A and B are shown apart, each in its own frame.
Chain A
Amino acid sequence: MFPTPIQKRSEAVRVTYQVFLPIALILWLLPLIAVASFSIRPLTDFTQGNFWGWPSSFNLFTNYGRVFFESDMPRYMLNSLMITIPTVVGAVALSCMTGFALGIYRFKGNLLIFFMFIAGNFVPFQILMVPVRDLTVSLNLYDTKLGLVLFHIAFQTGFCTLFMRNFIKALPVELIEAARVEGVAEWRIFWFVVLPLMRPAIAALAVLIFTFIWNDYFWAIVLTQGPEAQPVTAGITSFNSQFVAQYHLMSAGSIVAAIPPVAMFFAMQKHFIAGLTLGAVK
């Protein structure tokens, strides 16, 4: 078996492994641990440089209380939901259709279109920053949730199409042929035969896209400003006043903002892993 299980290696290797594993783990988690510990410190700890020492007081309730009741955080969370959920629904719905078209129908340029969907994923989105912003401004969509949703859908559909097309391609084509011989209309074949069989793919993709979009920071700060439309990832910085960075509140806000995708991951772990491997295996 490769790699050799650690229990079967020499004593020295085992000891080294046991020493380094916790160290690596702590290093890996350090930023998260720092954020978690910052979120319960008072601001004075930061001004006095007490980042890693024992907190001067435990302000768990004060900090989180302020996040929930004295800031725009609930508003930002709501914005995030109102951006993420329509994007997931839109991108998954569109890609079910594009995937069906590209996976089932044989037509000239099928592969070409499919490759363009894939190629789109390789364009670094940073270079689209300025044109997309200009476009949103000229469409009167700048600083609106709708604008963010539309652009997220547009950008995610490429990846989703790749995923869905490969999944549909793997379905037995006889099912569709059987339905065609029976005289079932194409859209009914899509709705009643293909869509129910895509449920696992839809679940996996929805979980994946949910975390992608929730965690998006780039487009959030490019296309929105202010609590009207900004999602929580961008909204965290709003704690900072003009001169003072409110690190303790930003930390608490970050923890709150991270809860939905993390909870989603644990609740839907099976689908999440499936989502990461499903498109890859075929």
Chain B
Amino acid sequence: MSGVRMEEVVKRYGDVQVIHGIDLEIADGEFCVFVGPSGCGKSTLLRMVAGLEDTTEGAMHIGGREVTRLDPAERGVAMVFQTYALYPHMTVRENMTFGLRMNGHPKSEIAEKVAEATRILKLEDYLDRKPAALSGGQRQRVSIGRAIVRGPEVFLFDEPLSNLDAELRVEMRVEIARLHKDIGATMIYVTHDQVEAMTLADKIVVLRAGRIEQVGAPLDLYRDPDNRFVAGFIGSPAMNFVTGVVQDGAVDVPALGGTVSPQVELPAEGTEVIIGLRPEHAKIDPNGTTLTVEITEALGGISYAYLTSSAGEKLIIEERGEISSALGDTVSRTFEPHHLYVFDKDSETRIR
């Protein structure tokens, strides 16, 4: 049993509050991803779990044990940093064994653990190299290896793939997913990359300005966002938002070329609302007249069209294959009404 539980956790730097009372339960063996824009407090929250930042108020539990005031070393966590944080003057083997050696573990035990970590991460050939002689991906593998060797209850990853190039990032992402499957330990992973969040997580925690916006399984967040922020943050390209007015039991949306009837309980007549529509849920209708094609991007398998309405609202549509409409064409788009999301204009919460 080594889940993580936070109760009303608060972080303040002097008068500045950066984490505003977070309640969160991460189950044993769960892969939990903190995601959010930069400055949302996700790294701070992770560092509070690690004990590298003091928790100002509230309580932190790891594996049923209160750890709020404990030193990082006593919390049974291992951390992987964005910058790898490998000791440059030590070889890979020395890096991985440093913590154990310093704490007087027997040599045979250390060798055993290193052998296992090296096997899992395929680092056999690099054990006697210094970090400077490794590529970025290898360095991050060593850094993960160092975490594995400690045999922690909880793994903490602080944007581990942000310093890698796109190709390696995909490779390492798969590797981390495999690692979680193999080891089965609780993992908390911080990223601003929502693809990483979607692919790795059992549970995503969307944070904004030190508050939790929504917690849930990746596809639940995608299908059923609680508010405009989550809807816009999860999914790529981001969900389109256009304004509309409730009229006669439907919503008049100029950018979509008329009234639409989302399958929700609409607010009172005349209320302004925000309509959300994902790029992948719409198709271009070449015979329409409401939208102008600004730019198209062909990525081979899929294409994106960037459209502008006469009122200047921007929309993105994703299509399979190529988009036949040329720049400057006027088009409209077709969609299923159940793919429309409605949000309150002021509070930005979802209207269901």
Choose one: B87, B89, B102; the contact of A185 (CB below 8 Å). Answer: B102
Kindly state the separation between the CA atoms of A174 and B85 in the bound complex, as whole angstroms.
Answer: 5
**A188, closest chain B residue (CB):** B102
B65 to chain A, nearest CB (A): 16
Kindly state the separation between the CA atoms of A177 and B71 in the bound complex, as whole angstroms.
Answer: 11
**Do residues A181 and B87 form an inter-chain contact, with CB atoms below 8 A?**
no
Choose one: A178, A185, A192; the contact of B85 (CB below 8 Å). Answer: A178
**A183, closest chain B residue (CB):** B73
A154 to chain B, nearest CB (A): 31
Q: Does B99 contact A (CB under 8 A)?
A: yes
Choose one: B73, B88, B89, B150; the contact of A180 (CB below 8 Å). Answer: B73
**Do residues B99 and A182 form an inter-chain contact, with CB atoms below 8 A?**
yes
Kindly state the separation between the CA atoms of A185 and B104 in the bound complex, as whole angstroms.
Answer: 12
Secondary structure type dominating chain A contacts: helix
Q: Does A175 contact B (CB under 8 A)?
A: yes
Q: Does A179 contact B (CB under 8 A)?
A: yes
Q: Does A172 contact B (CB under 8 A)?
A: yes
Q: Does B126 contact A (CB under 8 A)?
A: no
**Do residues A181 and B72 form an inter-chain contact, with CB atoms below 8 A?**
yes
Q: Which residues of B contact A177 (CB under 8 A)?
A: 52, 72, 79, 81, 85
Kindly state the separation between the CA atoms of A172 and B81 in the bound complex, as whole angstroms.
Answer: 11
* Interface residue count on the B side (C-beta < 8 Å): 22
**B79, closest chain A residue (CB):** A181
A203 to chain B, nearest CB (A): 14
A197 to chain B, nearest CB (A): 6
Q: Does B201 contact A (CB under 8 A)?
A: no
**Do residues A182 and B83 form an inter-chain contact, with CB atoms below 8 A?**
no
**Do residues A197 and B89 form an inter-chain contact, with CB atoms below 8 A?**
yes
Q: Which residues of B contact A130 (CB under 8 A)?
A: none
* Interface residue count on the A side (C-beta < 8 Å): 17
**Do residues B89 and A181 form an inter-chain contact, with CB atoms below 8 A?**
no
Q: Does B239 contact A (CB under 8 A)?
A: no
- Given that A193-B87, A196-B89, A197-B88 are contacting pairs, would A178 and B103 also be in contact in the complex, using a CB cutoff of 8 Å? no
**Do residues B150 and A182 form an inter-chain contact, with CB atoms below 8 A?**
yes
Q: Does A184 contact B (CB under 8 A)?
A: yes
Q: A residues touching B (Cβ–Cβ < 8 Å)? A: 172, 174-175, 177-185, 188, 192-193, 196-197
Known contacts A174-B85, A178-B146, then 14 further A-B pairs from the complex at CB < 8 Å, ordered by chain A residue: A175-B85, A175-B87, A177-B72, A178-B87, A179-B98, A180-B52, A181-B52, A181-B78, A182-B73, A182-B99, A182-B103, A182-B146, A183-B74, A183-B99
Q: Which residues of B contact A172 (CB under 8 A)?
A: 83, 85
Kindly state the separation between the CA atoms of A197 and B90 in the bound complex, as whole angstroms.
Answer: 10
Could you list some 20 contacts between A and B, CB below 8 A? A172-B83, A175-B85, A177-B52, A178-B85, A178-B87, A180-B73, A181-B72, A181-B77, A181-B78, A181-B79, A182-B102, A182-B103, A182-B146, A183-B72, A183-B74, A184-B73, A184-B99, A184-B102, A197-B88, A197-B89
Kindly state the separation between the CA atoms of A197 and B51 in the bound complex, as whole angstroms.
Answer: 25
- Given that A177-B52, A177-B79 are contacting pairs, would A184 and B85 also be in contact in the complex, using a CB cutoff of 8 Å? no
Kindly state the separation between the CA atoms of A181 and B143 in the bound complex, as whole angstroms.
Answer: 13
Q: Which residues of A contact B146 (CB under 8 A)?
A: 178, 182
Instruction: State which residues 53-111 of B face A: CB under 8 Å.
Output: 71-74, 77-79, 81, 83, 85, 87-89, 98-99, 102-103
**Do residues A183 and B85 form an inter-chain contact, with CB atoms below 8 A?**
no
Kindly state the separation between the CA atoms of A178 and B85 in the bound complex, as whole angstroms.
Answer: 7
A113 to chain B, nearest CB (A): 20
Q: Which residues of A contact B33 (CB under 8 A)?
A: none
Q: Which residues of B contact A182 (CB under 8 A)?
A: 73, 78, 98-99, 102-103, 146, 150
B312 to chain A, nearest CB (A): 45
- Given that A180-B72, A181-B50, A182-B73 are contacting pairs, would A192 and B88 also be in contact in the complex, using a CB cutoff of 8 Å? no
Q: Which residues of B contact A180 (CB under 8 A)?
A: 52, 71-73
**B88, closest chain A residue (CB):** A197
A223 to chain B, nearest CB (A): 40
**Do residues B83 and A183 form an inter-chain contact, with CB atoms below 8 A?**
no
Instruction: State which residues 312-346 of B face A: CB under 8 Å.
Output: none
B82 to chain A, nearest CB (A): 8
Kindly state the separation between the CA atoms of A122 and B81 in the bound complex, as whole angstroms.
Answer: 41
**Do residues B73 and A181 form an inter-chain contact, with CB atoms below 8 A?**
yes
Kindly state the separation between the CA atoms of A172 and B83 in the bound complex, as whole angstroms.
Answer: 9
Kindly state the separation between the CA atoms of A177 and B47 in the bound complex, as whole angstroms.
Answer: 10
**Do residues B81 and A178 form an inter-chain contact, with CB atoms below 8 A?**
yes
Q: Which residues of B contact A184 (CB under 8 A)?
A: 73, 98-99, 102-103
Of the listed residues B73, B88, B102, B150, the one surrounded by the most CB atoms of chain A closer than 10 A to its CB is B102
Q: Which residues of B contact A192 (CB under 8 A)?
A: 98, 102
**Do residues B89 and A178 form an inter-chain contact, with CB atoms below 8 A?**
no
